[in-house]
Structure 1
Amino acid sequence: TAFCSYTGEILDKKTPLLRSMEVVSEQALRILRLFGNNTATRVTTTVGPEQEYFLVDKKYFDQREDLVITGRTLFGAKPPKGQELEDHYFGNIKQRVSDYMKDLDKELWKLGIYAKTKHNEVAPAQHELAPIFTTSNIAADHNQLTMEIMKKIALQHGLVCLLHEKPFAGVNGSGKHNNWSISSNDGQNLLDPGDTPQDNMQFLTFLCAIIKAVDEYAPLLRLSAASAGNDHRLGANEAPPAVISMFIGSELEGVIEALENGTTYKKPNGSEEFVIGVDALPNFPKDATDRNRTSPFAFTGNKFEFRMLGSADSISCTNTILNTIVAEVLDEFATTLEKADDFDKALKELLIKTIKEHKRIIFNGNGYSNEWLEEAERRGLPNLVSTVDALPKYTEKKYVSMFEKFKVYSAKEIKSRTEILLENYSKVINIEALTMLDMVKKQILPACISYTKTLCDSAISKDTVGIDSSVEKSLASKISSLTASIVNEVKALDEKVISAQDCEEGEAMARFYRDEVFTQMQTLRASVDECEMCIPEDVWPMPSYTKLLFTV
């Protein structure tokens, strides 16, 4: 459905996505015409979003106020076992989950959503579903429907499907890998190296355009994955860091370097040499290093996988931005090449110039390492750590001008989206803080006080008959001390939540919630989680991580 305001501003996510698909088609066709392709009449971007999710037993979900209200656990001591054995990832799918997956497939197929891949993910109780690729706008619609159907079918199995990016601390969160490609309606995947020198130069042209687009517009890609929930994932050794980089694999990097330096490209085994633009290049096998798992934007054969997106997000914003930034660079390329007297010479010069200026974005190493963050800083790559750092970039003049040039967004539409996203961030943190306060005051503190009394009564009884009561006294003292800390931290959080209302709405308020409220929430959680480890399961007022993660 498309929505617009009384004065004509676009209010939905579908219309900008459709507009971006039109502009990338128009600019890509200009490039194809330069390579002599007069048969293609349209270029389409396609997407296959991999949807990660958790399944928990509904009876335990219903006993967790934090899960019910916020979608994630705000408290929870670490269980004895997490994901360190990787036995869930490589293990069999449990029967109850398998039954759910089969019913989910059937319902999705009825709607024309071709769900195909399904498997366990790394964290306990975590799984993934992936559909067959389709055009970007249909893929976005399908993914929205998929998330709704996933939750609906889960209830039929006595389960709850959690789509929050980080429902449990200490184990991996959930993302949504956005596999993006671009194809013409005469049967060419434009990210697939061809069998002739001309086809390969065409492939390298589109590849270099994407390299430049990702480098120049990295903040836009980063903010397309920005949310309060996704901030828990990015850079936590389970998802890419907040620094945008591109993985293209060692063989393709060798081709790029050969083109830049004007040398021949040698296959890794040294058996053959290829002159870029003269010889047909070899097929590029999917890189075997598996480092694409740590890269935000990875070339994986004939597509790019954008891995930053959060599991609860719509894919529309990401693909609107991706389509538009690629269209912008293709427009620049086409404008330059259409004026050239010698196309081959101008093309080679353009590609070499692009590689020299934008190769800093290419990184095939381990994106999880601290060394990469230091290297990225030396390269001048932006590191927009949180949502609050990323969202204000939306309204920068360079980006607004690009969107207005292609009539994807107006300046007013971008400003309103930025304000709404910042407001949503503040509201999410505020709701989480209020939920924490409610749980502590009504459930956790009463449990702590009650069990402390039980221990004290036991100690008095033992003392009366002359039995050693040191264990009860020691444990009661520890819980009493933790309870006092919790009370103080609750008071501090209460004050910060109230103070947040005095901030100016927008970026200032969002920063206060991130720097002050969220930080205090983490402090409170640490004390509560420590207290949970001291109190019996039948006294603690909510199901433990062990029950939530290991009983489905």
Structure 2
Amino acid sequence: MRSENEVCKNSLVECFGINVFSDAVMRERLPKSTYKALKKTIDEGKPLSLEVAEVVANAMKDWAIEKGATHFTHWFQPMTGVTAEKHESFISPSGDGRAITEFSGLELTKGESDASSFPSGGLRATFEARGYTVWDCTSPAFLKEDEGGITLYIPTAFCSYTGEALDKKTPLLRSIEAISKQAIRVLRLFGNTTASKVIPTVGPEQEYFLVDRDLYMKRKDLVFTGRTLFGAKPPKGQELEDHYYGSIKERVAAFMSEIDTELWKLGVAAKTKHNEVAPGQFEIATIYNDCNISTDHNQLVMDTLKKVANRHGLVCLLHEKPFEGINGSGKHVNWSLSTNEGENLLNPGKKPHENKQFLIFLAAVIKAIDEYADILRVSTASPGNDHRLGANEAPPAIISIFLGEQLTDILEQIEKGEIRGTKQSEELAIGVTTIPSLYKDVTDRNRTSPFAFTGNKFEFRMVPSSVSISDANFILNTVVAETLSQIADRLEGAANFEEEVEEILKDIVKNHRRIIFNGDGYSKEWVAEAERRGLPNIKSTVDAIPALITEKAIKLFEKHNVLSFSELNSRYEIMLETYIKQINIEANTMLDMGKRQIIPAVVRYLNDIALSINQIKASGTAVDTAFQEEILEEVSGYAASFKKHIKELEELVSEGASFEGSMFEKACFYRDQVVEAMKRLRADGDKLETVVDEKLWPFPTYGDLLFNI
């Protein structure tokens, strides 16, 4: 029998999903009645009996052990933003000095964790520690293998003893049910009587940086914060635009090849890989999947990137802005809606002006994004993304929708009440007879748009590279569920269905066309135009977070049973606390590097210059030392300013530690005072890097980090 590694080496198709307890594996290993019962739970949301869980658990255990697994874990996604796991062995003493392997239905469906040790936003105190992990059977179990062995991973939700969601997955699952319910209502009115479920489908693109591990370990800022807190611009950055889609270096290609194999074994359909815009930056994209599964898969992508990089002497940086002066990293979330019968509800067809069902779903999205832009903005809020949004590398902090010429023209026709037709694609005249005929798309792409329609889906381009895509998806699902609910209410009460459809489309276009913008999102003119239109421009994480606890948000999420007020408030508290802690860690890291590394290096350099001046003067020659004295004076000036700003930052960090205001006021203090002081300290540090002897500089420079992989 061939080993799994041999299978993956020789057959991509056989390799794919080899470590997944997939539908095909379940169909093969489960009794027919058990398989059907489990599928009803997965596909229709029917309750899962403990009897069915017992049979599934036994089959899952046998499959895992046959593949070499010794442990299982409930894999969950707490509010830390990363995944969590506690490993349990299958082994159980038999009473005669031997052991047997056991895995019960109860162990499969329910686990226990210390809820007070994870962020809870006040929902759990230390003396209220119990929390539960609950099997999410809609996302398949899988095996992970590394030097520690092989472990069975069971995707789960995580809740408190009192039932509140303490994780990223639970609100996502709730939102999927919410949007399905409302979308089915609309589909029934359009005559679809067979679809039983509507599924948000997602295909995320993940950007990341790679740096040499040895160099990484010499940078405290990268180790502790994931980004460089000091760093002068190197002689070459991305000016020549020669890295994007460039030839992949052999070391990186080897890393990417192993990434593909590891992900394929886990059933993650890694499809695209390439060099990104900045030196040392890359991207991986996966094929569309159900929203929940795709969210789990993106967590696996991030985890696998980090683990495999280490095997190649590299470190994967997922921070949104690890290097100043070059492009940062984002995560483009491609989102659409499909029925369980495979119909993409955001596919316009050849004549979208006649496709009223498509136009209604499109209008629902437009209305949702306009009315709930502030809430959607929360899903893009992180300290790292504050460095990225609005720069000439990422969408602005103003949320708008790009529809392109074809759909914008149709909406204008709808508003005027004069439906004429649909603009069609044209053949491109390239001028080379040997090239096949090429018909261009009916609309261009807009890389400056935060939320762009790209043919049969929307691309949400503001999502931070380091976070779970769950937040973006559950908020997007919920806001669209709400507008679909409003549309369904009107259609169900309409005397004339066709006329009401037209009235709904006219109303939405008239009242929400302000959110549609097909121009340059980077331009200053757009900022002024957006303000004139009344679109929010929420520039920072701290400004964005309060949208979670507005009356509008509470009403929205409670109506669709996605998050209760207490769950919303907990996330509000957690996000503020996380922001404060991250900025505080960055500030303390800067102080440590400044006082213990940069200042000693500068002093050594100043001593070398002073010694040189003294030696020349002591020699009794007539050599002019004005040049050295000028350098001494220049570096001394930078050093004095640097020391002054170190003291300033120290005082602010101390003030922050004893701050007595609300959590929001404290976050504002860190944003307005600490972050600005960090910028001033960095400016001095970066000046010093450009003048101090390279041999004395205490850590690798941007040139070292970006061009040594």
Pick the aligned partner of 2:656 from 500, 512, 517: 500
State the AA in 2 paired with 1:105.
D
1:345 pairs with one of 495, 499, 502:
499
Measure how far apart 1:193 and its partner are.
1.4
Once the two structures are superposed, residues 123-147 of structure 1 have per-residue CA deviations (whole angstroms, 9 ceiling, x without a partner) of 0000000011101111111111111
Q: Look up the SS of the partner of 1:3 in the other structure.
A: strand
Aligned 1:172-187 pairs, distance under 5 A: 172-187=327-342
1:227 correspondence with 2:227: no
User: Helix, strand or coil: the match of 1:179?
Assistant: strand
TM-score with structure 1 setting the length: 0.96
Q: Report the counterpart of residue 324 of structure 1 in structure 2.
A: 478
* Structure richer in strand, relative to its length: 2
Distance, in Å, in 2 between the alignment partners of 1:323 and 1:450 is 58
Q: Distance in 2 between matches of 1:285 and 1:184?
A: 29
State how far apart, in whole Å, the 2-side matches of 1:68 and 1:196 are. Answer: 54
Match of 2:702 in 1: 545
Q: TM-score, normalised by structure 2?
A: 0.75
2:585 & 2:647 partners in 1: Cα distance? 17
1:294 aligns with 448
1:485 aligns with 2:641: yes
Distance 2:425 2:558 in 1: 49
AA of the residue aligned to 2:487:
F
Match of residue 678 from structure 2: 521
Residue 491 of structure 1 deviates from its aligned partner by: 0.5
Equivalences for 1:195-234 in 2 at 5 Å?
200-234=355-389
Identity %: 56
Give the Cα separation in 2 of the matches to 1:246 and 1:261. 21
Q: In structure 2, which of residues 287, 308, 313 is the aligned counterpart of residue 153 of structure 1?
A: 308
Aligned counterpart in structure 2 of residue 366 of structure 1, from 517, 520, 538: 520
User: Which residue does 1:278 correspond to in 2?
Assistant: none
Name the residue aligned to 2:70. Answer: none
C-alpha change, 1:225 and 1:287, in structure 2 (3 Å) is: farther
Contact map agreement 1:217 1:325 (CA 8 A) in 2: yes
The 3 A distance-change label for structure 1 pair 286 and 400 is: farther
Shift of 1:545: 0.2
2:249 is aligned, of 66, 84, 94, to: 94
Deviation, 1:288, is 4.8
> Aligned to 2:259, what secondary structure does the other structure show?
helix
CA offsets 1:172-206 (integer angstroms, 9 cap, x no match): 00000000010011221000013577971100000
Residue 288 and residue 262 in structure 1: after superposition, are their counterparts in 2 closer, same or farther (change >3 A)? closer
Q: Which amino acid aligns with 2:169?
A: K
Q: Does 1:471 align with 2:627?
A: yes
The separation in 2 between residues aligned to 1:44 and 1:267, in whole angstroms, is 28
Structure 1, 491-500 or 187-196: larger mean CA deviation: 187-196
Where structure 2 has 5 or more consecutive residues not aligned to the other structure, the ranges are 1-155, 427-438
More helix by share: 1
**2:646 & 2:351 partners in 1: Cα distance?**
68
Amino acid paired to 1:79: P
- Is structure 2 residue 532 aligned with structure 1 residue 378? yes
Deviation readout 1:113-132 (Å, 9 max, x if unpaired): 11110000000000000011
The total of aligned residue pairs comes to 539
* Structure 2 Cα separation of the partners of residues 450 and 288 of structure 1: 60
Q: Secondary structure at the match of 2:463?
A: coil
Match of 1:447 among 601, 610, 618: 601
Q: 1:399 Cα deviation (Å)?
A: 1.1
Letter in 1 for 2:362: L
User: Whole-Å Cα distance in 2 between the matches of residues 264 and 136 of structure 1?
Assistant: 35
Q: How far apart are residue 468 of structure 1 and its match?
A: 2.4
* Residue identity matched to 2:314: L
**Of 219, 222, 236, the match for 2:391:** 236
**Structure 2 residue 684 is matched with structure 1 residue 530:** no
SS class of match (1:182): strand
What is the alpha-carbon distance in structure 2 between the residues aligned to residue 236 and residue 514 of structure 1? 18
CA contact (8 A) 2:558 2:565 kept: yes
2:425 and 2:309 map into 1 onto residues whose CA distance is 54
Is there any run of 5+ residues in structure 1 with no aligned partner, and where? 272-283
Structure with greater contact order relative to length (CA < 8 Å, sep ≥ 6): 1
Q: Which structure 2 residues correspond to residues 27-426 of structure 1 after superposition, within 5 A?
A: 27-194=182-349, 200-265=355-420, 286=441, 288-291=443-446, 293-426=447-580
1:298 maps to a residue whose letter is A
Question: Whole-Å Cα distance in 2 between the matches of residues 468 and 332 of structure 1?
Answer: 83
Separation of aligned partners in 2, 1:375 and 1:499:
40
Tell me, in whole angstroms, the C-alpha distance in 1 between the residues paired with 2:244 and 2:307: 25
3-state DSSP class of the match of 1:540? coil
8 Å CA contact 2:353–2:422 kept in 1: the answer is no
Distance 1:47 1:269 in 2: 27
CA apart distance, 1:402: 1.0
Q: How far did 1:8 drift?
A: 1.4
CA contact (8 A) 1:35 1:198 kept: no
- Is 1:423–1:505's contact at 8 Å kept on the other side of the alignment? no
* Rounded Cα–Cα distance in structure 1 between residues aligned with 2:485 and 2:475: 15
Corresponding position of 1:277: none
Kept after mapping to 1: 8 A contact 2:395/2:449: yes
Deviations for 1:210-234, whole angstroms, at most 9, x for unmatched residues?
0000000001111111010111000
- Quickly say closer, same or farther: Cα 1:473–1:195, change in 2 above 3 A: closer
Q: Is this contact kept in 1: 2:229–2:590, CA < 8 A?
A: yes
**Pair 353,136 (structure 1): closer, same or farther in 2 beyond 3 Å:** same
Tell me by how many angstroms 1:289 deviates: 3.3
RMSD of aligned residue pairs (Cα, Å):
1.5
CA contact (8 A) 1:181 1:302 kept: yes
Is the Cα–Cα contact under 8 Å of residues 285 and 301 in structure 1 kept in the other structure? no
Q: Is the 8 A contact 2:396 2:522 kept in 1?
A: yes
Q: Structure 1's 482 and 270: CA in aligned 2 closer, same or farther, altered over 3 A?
A: closer
